[in-house]
Amino acid sequence: MGATLSSRAQWTSVSTTGNKLDFTKSNEELLKDILSFLESFPSQHPSEAGVVFKRPFVWESSLSPDKFLSLNTDEYDKSNTKVASKEVTKEGDPLLSVNQIGEGYEIRAFTFKALTQVLKCAGDKKLKEVQLCLEANQDPIATIMGPAYASINSDGNGGKNALIEAHENLERERSRGNTGPHVDQLDTSFKLLLLLNTLDTKLLHQSVQKIGKEVRLNPSAVASEVEVLQKFSGQLSHHCLRSLEYTSEMVFSNGCRAPPWRQAHGDICYIQVHPHDGDVFHVTASTEGYHINGGVSAGGDVNHERKSEVTPTLVALLKLKGSHFSTTLAKQDFVYEEKRNIARDTEPVSIEVELTEIPHKPIDRDVQEPTPKAASPQHRKKLVSDQKKRTKEASSLQSTGLEPSQKWKALGVSNELANARSSPMSPAAKPSSPVKKIKKGTEAGRTDSPAQPITSAKSRRGWSAGSAKAVQTAGDVTSDSSSEEEEEEEQGERRPESNADLPSEYWQIQKLIKYLKGGNQTATVIALCCLLDFNLTAETSQMAIRDVGGLDLLINLLETDNTKCRIGALQILMQISQNPQTRVAIADLQGLPMMVKILDHDDKELKCLAAETIANVAMFRRARRIVRQNGGVRKLVSLLELPATSNPDPEAVSDQEVARCGAQALWSCSKSRKNKAAIFRANAVPLLAKLLLSENENVLVPVVGTLQECASEPAYQELIRSEGMIEHLVRGLKSENTQLQMHCAAAIFKCAEEEATRSLVRKYEGLAPLAKLLKSANADIELLGAVTGAVWKCSKSLENVTSFKELKAIDSLVALLSNQPEEVLINVVGALGECAEEPDNRITIRKAGGIPPMVQLLTGTNQPLLINVTRALGACALDMESMSVIDKQDGVRLLWSLLKSPNPEVQACSAWAICPCIENMKHAGDLVRSFVGGLELIVGLLKSDNTEVLAGVCKAISKIAGDEENLAVITDHGVVPLLASLTNTRDDHLRRYLAMAIAKSCAWRNNRVSFGQCNAVAPLVSYLESPDPLVHQATALALHQLSKDPDNCITMHESGVVKLLLHKVGSSDEKLQEAAAGCIANIRKLAIANEKAKYK
């Protein structure tokens, strides 16, 4: 076991008394293995269990003598202060004894049988006793067999040699013919050592298996990852990071930058990271992985305290630390800063993208830019030619069997690789300057020239995902603030290996496209009708249209005066625009401005087709921007206007179809924040409200879809409520159309942040259909996510919680805690947390079995889910029986571990949840002390900059300080000066719990004197002037405790506390009365004592 403790166990040095076992999963598994061995040892090996150790196992325990009352009276002498076995060693020492040492107890055990008796009496603290025993006896072999058998001794012999030595001693005695008790004892000792060696080997084998599964970092891997991330760092918001640098420029021969004495601990280097959305922090790269350390001092000394979990990659750690990094990385919204040389047979050409500021004129909010003229046929023909050229380049890349990732495609690297494989550039193809400048292109956002050296047109279309993002932010014209949906990734086209693999439809479509080129109007209409007979959504059909330049022809037809040709072209474009590649091509070929222009046409069918095609194309950001810049939003809103008529004639039906298509297009465009503002300015909300009165579900779906997309903005939320739309949204929940139900629930989810909206949902009986959908929407994840979100927000009103209780919605929510995606779980747990504010609902949640799955969710990494889970468990912990379930599920330990989270909101919610756990749990003080480094962790959080974290931690400390031993520990960790440093706060929420923590902390020794020395008394007096009566009560309690020190009384009197407390003595709050009176009494006693001293 000695070898295992020195290799597998993970030790920390948080105590001056010696190394302690770190609070890790690996150590927990090790302790469980040893516990299992000890519990079964006496029954399996009774003779070896009675072997008397050379030295006893001695450790300080939390078990008092009354825990050993179950021991046999015939074998043990027991009293209130000690326990001793009647069986003794040769020297007369009891084989098991428990003695009081100061305020604690010391256990001494000479046999495995005695150790087993201790574990039986420990009950649920078995694991803690094993930990304390091992920490005090870190070389068990030496304790059992003597110093000669130490696992690590002066001559370097290990446990293996000790086993051989024991065997040789036994054989030596037998060879001499010796018999008797001495030889029997050697035999038993050898068997015992053999059993311990077997256990050691088993534990080491498990350790080797675990280590074999771990990925160990090395200096070269760390350097490579840092180098890559440095190239994505810069001052622009489109960079992933501001900066990422090593803290030391010294590199040792093995590639490490950490000092040699830290390399022995596995450290490789230390990295300074400056994110865009936070303060600078420091990262330790070690062979185990990456973790955040305690920072670097002004003198360059690194605080090696671990402040986060260990991650296998630096990218994974940065994702946990900040949202900007992970969001930018997921969106491909980053800039790659590197000057690259592409190897050629000729002289290398340096390529660099230089961003230049685009001068622009301010645009009036209501005045749109003039609609640009469509690109000429010659220009579009050139674009089609370039598109063919790009297709050939892509096929040559695919023929090699290598496919670059989408993120490299966004950077244009795939095209450079293709060029690097090709023949050297001809002189004509070489750029005239080593620097190419990206200039402002057409209104669609394209560059001036359709083709440029090195980078293909496809990469130019993707430049918004790369460095050209900075150009877009130069003005409103070329920017879009959509955060809901990024520009679609352009996937490589899957083309057949040869023309022989193409179906016959491919060639037939190409023939029809040729008829479009050369035929008259009649032939063109016939060709368009024939094209509509094909399955145009098939990939082969769309590839045939693009390959022969059909898109260019179809967009040209939109400029004709022949309505039939326009309708036919739009019908085809509407179908093929469902393909992402085709959408981008339509935007590149200036198709959207022409479709926007068609929206003014008198023909209703033509307007419908144009609007539906816009709805398909506007699925990516650049297309939505083009629609807005060309006045498309205002024109689409005008399509929503219906004439006032009550007759369901064909004309009214066609008007409804126009409105439906307009709403469909607005739905697609509303995914952009600027488009939402444009829709709002166009006064679309009253028109959408009018359309909600329709009985046609085909109209209602896009209308509600647009509303729920826009409802993320506060201005829309207020209008939706004031225009009376909540009633119609509730009506949509009762529909049989699942898509309509989903959008109505999503709209309520976003609008129900306001109390007025929640009341309207209850008024129009919307809670019952929501509760019903909770039971029936399991198969539809999107519907379930929207419904649970609506239930969560509606549960923020007490009246709604009562209704949900009557509708049995809580049982349905508990049933959804398993086998659901995180998006649903966030809403489910959020709703349960709101319902658990009512005492009866806590009992319902516990009886329905909701607590164990919620505790299991604490092991996840989703930050919003962790926030909601901690809030829900904190509310449930107010119930004693629910608290017992949380404790059995190890929920308190998991909540405590979340205090290490880098997310301040998770830290705050965890601290608040811990408070009722400590208050309502039996033996809470012992459990809190059992968390290795737990008290030090929570005291360290008093250094946080987040007010909510500080308030939660202060309340938790006030609960922890109820246990005298815990109060002594946190005092040693410096809780007094940290609390005193917070007293100058002006936040009443923090003031209340800070005063409570100070009041409780005064109970230990000279803490009240220390508070006075830290200048915490005078600021507390000012708390009595707060308008919050709860602050007054907590402050009076703190001042009462502090006034027991004479120096503090003097400080209070000088700060004018007497006058303030005299008003509080007449308060209706009894606690405030007593504390205020007690404080005044202490001050008066000191004054009287001073008066008496003067006259003596």
pLDDT tens-digit profile of 895-913?
999 999 999 999 999 999 9
Encoded tokens for 843: 């009992």
Q: What is residue 218's three-state secondary structure?
A: coil
- Higher local confidence (pLDDT), 959 or 419: 959
pLDDT band at residue 1 under the 50/70/90 scheme: low
H helices present in 670-713, as ranges: 673-681, 684-691, 697-710
Amino acid letter, residue 479: S
Confidence of residue 825 (pLDDT cuts 50, 70, 90): very high
Helix ranges (H only) for 342-430 are 377-399, 406-411, 413-421
pLDDT tens-digit profile of 740-798? 999 999 999 999 999 999 999 999 999 999 999 998 877 789 999 999 999 999 999 99
Packed helices 591-598 and 621-629: angle between N→C axes, nearest 10 degrees: 50
Residue 398 has pLDDT above 60, yes or no: no
93: how many CB neighbours lie within 10 A of its CB? Answer: 15
Q: Look at residue 1058 and tell me whether its pLDDT is greater than 90.
A: yes
C-alpha–C-alpha distance, residues 442 and 457, integer Å: 14
Q: What are the φ and ψ backbone dihedral angles of 11, each rounded to 5 degrees?
A: -105, 155
Specify whether the CB–CB gap between 515 and 483 falls below 8 A: no
Q: Quick check: helix, strand or coil at residue 289?
A: strand
pLDDT at residue 274 tops 70: yes
What Å distances lie between residue 527 and 55, 330, 535, 572, 576, CA to CA? 101, 44, 15, 11, 16
- From CA 680, how far away is CA 988, in angstroms rounded? 39
Task: Band the pLDDT of 385: cuts 50, 70, 90.
Answer: low
The C-alpha R_g of the chain, in whole angstroms, comes to 38
What is the distance between the alpha carbons of residues 1067 and 1080, in angstroms, rounded to a whole number?
Answer: 15
For 882, the enclosing helix (H) or strand (E) is helix 880-888
Question: Taking residues 1065-1085, what's their average pLDDT?
Answer: 93
- Lowest-confidence range among 414-428, 518-532, 645-659, 1067-1081? 414-428
| 165-174, 671-680, 870-879, range with the lowest pLDDT | 165-174
- Does residue 491 carry a pLDDT above 70? no
Answer yes or no: are the C-beta atoms of 284 and 248 closer than 8 Å.
no
| Residue given tokens 């196992």 in the structure block | 57
Does the pLDDT of residue 115 top 70, yes or no?
yes
pLDDT band at 541; cut points 50, 70, 90: confident
Q: Residue 41, Cα to own-chain centre: how many angstroms?
A: 45
Secondary structure element (H or E) that encloses residue 11, with its range: strand 11-12
Strand bridging mode 435-437 / 349-354: parallel
Q: Is the pLDDT of residue 314 over 70?
A: yes
Gap between the Cα atoms of 884 and 180, Å rounded: 56
Give the Cβ contact number of residue 1087 at 10 Å.
14
> Residue 366: is its pLDDT beyond 50?
no
Provide the token pair at 72. 């046999």
Q: What does the mean pLDDT of the chain come to? A: 80
Pick from 352, 336, 317: which is nearest to 227 by CA?
Answer: 336
Q: How confident is the model at residue 547 (pLDDT cuts 50, 70, 90)?
A: confident
Instruction: Please check whether residue 621 is in contact with residue 487, taking contact to mean a CB–CB distance below 8 angstroms.
Output: yes
Cα–Cα distance for residue pair 616/233, rounded to 1 Å:
36
What is the rounded CA–CA span in Å between residue 884 and residue 888? 6
User: Which stretch of DSSP H or E encloses residue 292?
Assistant: strand 289-292
Q: How far is CA 450 from CA 96, 390, 441, 828, in A?
A: 90, 12, 10, 51
What does the pLDDT average to over 186-202? 76
Maximum Cα–Cα distance across the chain: 126
Asked whether residue 152 carries a pLDDT value surpassing 70, the answer given is no
Report, as an integer, the average pLDDT of 690-697.
Answer: 91
Q: Are 355 and 438 in contact (CB under 8 A)?
A: yes
Strands 295-296 and 340-342: unpaired
Tokens representing residue 497 in the block:
């290996």
Burial 19-46 (b: 16+ CB within 10 A, else e): ebbbbeeebeebbebbbebbeebbeebe
pLDDT band per the 50, 70, 90 thresholds, residue 122? confident
State the sign of the Cα–Cα–Cα–Cα dihedral 213, 214, 219, 224: positive
- Residue for token pair 């200048």: 1015
- Residue 503 is predicted with a pLDDT of 82
Confidence class for position 83, pLDDT limits 50, 70, 90: confident
Q: Where are the beta strands (DSSP E) in 261-411?
A: 267-274, 281-286, 289-292, 295-296, 302-303, 340-342, 349-354
Cβ atoms of residues 285 and 267 within 8 Å: yes
Quick one: which H or E segment has residue 809? helix 809-815
What three-state secondary structure class fits 213?
helix
Count of CB atoms situated within 10 Å of the CB of 693? 11
Give the DSSP H/E element, type plus range, for residue 647: none
pLDDT of residue 303 exceeding 50, the answer is: yes
- Two tokens at 344? 């050629």
Of the candidate ranges 406-410, 491-495, 662-666, 1043-1047, the one whose mean pLDDT is the lowest: 406-410
Beta carbons within 8 Å of 424's beta carbon, 6+ residues apart = 344, 345, 346
Residue 19: per-residue pLDDT: 66
Which residue from 539, 538, 540 is spatially nearest to 503, judged by alpha carbons? 540
Cβ neighbours of residue 1061 under 8 Å, at least 6 residues apart? 1024, 1036, 1039, 1076, 1079, 1080
Q: How far apart are CA 1079 and CA 1042, in angstroms?
A: 8
Encode pLDDT of 497-539 as tens digits.
Answer: 445 567 888 888 888 888 787 767 888 888 889 999 888 888 8
* Enclosing H/E stretch for 521: helix 521-532
- Name the one residue in this structure whose structure tokens are 């597998």: 8
330: tokens are: 């997921």
pLDDT surpassing 90 at residue 598? yes
> pLDDT, tens digit, for every residue of 711-734?
999 999 999 999 999 999 999 999
Whole-number Cα distances in Å, 804 to 735, 756, 762, 766, 767: 20, 18, 10, 11, 7
The secondary structure of residue 1066, as a DSSP letter, is: T
